[in-house]
């Protein structure tokens, strides 16, 4: 249980730091957020729990394929905000777009030999 709390605390501190930095320096906060810190931490925790190279390789490859459909959200949200749509509606639309694209990747991936 202590291990879980440690993992959650470290991950939470990173998210809080991004939020705090972004208030004053939005670009720098975005840079920190764009770093694959959570993915790297996830791989470290996974490796510690299950040091299996094949499993880690599958995890890293699946992460790559799931990052791709999340990227359009970061174009859609600013585009919607700039057209006057409120933040919450833009955020929901961006999340729905991402869910739709994730679904497509999950459906198409195995047809192309991807192990997701």
Do 100 and 73 lie in a common domain?
yes
Q: Is there a contact between 18 and 33 (Cβ–Cβ < 8 Å)? A: yes
Structure tokens at 69: 């459909």
> What's the whole-number mean pLDDT along residues 68-82?
97
Q: Is the pLDDT of residue 79 over 90?
A: yes
pTM over 0.75: yes
Per the structure, the count of domains in the chain is: 2
Phi then psi for residue 51, to 5 deg, are -75, 75
Indicate the residue among 51, 67, 82 that finishes a domain. Answer: 51
The pLDDT, as a whole number, for residue 38 is 81
Q: Give the 3-state secondary structure of residue 90.
A: helix
Q: Which domain holds residue 2?
A: 1-51
Does residue 34 carry a pLDDT above 90?
no
Final residue before a domain boundary, out of 18, 33, 51: 51
Tell me, yes or no, whether 89 and 63 share the same domain: yes
Angle at 75 between CA 112 and CA 42, to 5 degrees: 60
In a shared domain, residues 18 and 41: yes
Q: Rounded to an integer, what distance in angstroms lies between the CA atom of residue 91 and that of residue 87?
A: 6
Q: Do 73 and 63 share a structural domain?
A: yes
The answer to whether the beta carbons of residues 74 and 97 sit under 8 Å apart is no
Q: 1: which 2 tokens?
A: 């249980």
* Domain match, 57 and 71 both: yes
Residue 97 has pLDDT above 90, yes or no: yes
Same domain, 62 and 40: no
Chain segment 41-60, per-residue pLDDT in tens: 889 999 999 999 999 999 99
The answer on 57 and 46 residing in a single domain is: no
Mean pLDDT of the chain: 93
Placement of tokens 């320096």 in the chain: 25
* Mean pLDDT confidence for 19-29: 93
């Amino acid at each position: 249980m202590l291990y879980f709390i440690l993992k959650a605390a470290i991950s939470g501190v990173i998210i809080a730091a991004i939020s705090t930095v972004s208030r004053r320096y939005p670009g720098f906060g975005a840079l920190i957020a764009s770093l694959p810190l959570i993915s790297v931490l996830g791989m470290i925790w996974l490796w510690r729990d299950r040091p299996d190279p094949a499993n880690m390789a599958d995890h890293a490859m699946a992460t790559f394929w799931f990052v791709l459909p999340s990227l359009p959200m970061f174009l859609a949200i600013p585009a919607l905000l700039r057209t006057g749509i409120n933040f919450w509606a833009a955020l929901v639309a961006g999340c729905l777009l991402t869910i739709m694209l994730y679904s497509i990747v999950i459906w198409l991936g195995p047809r192309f030999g991807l192990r997701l």
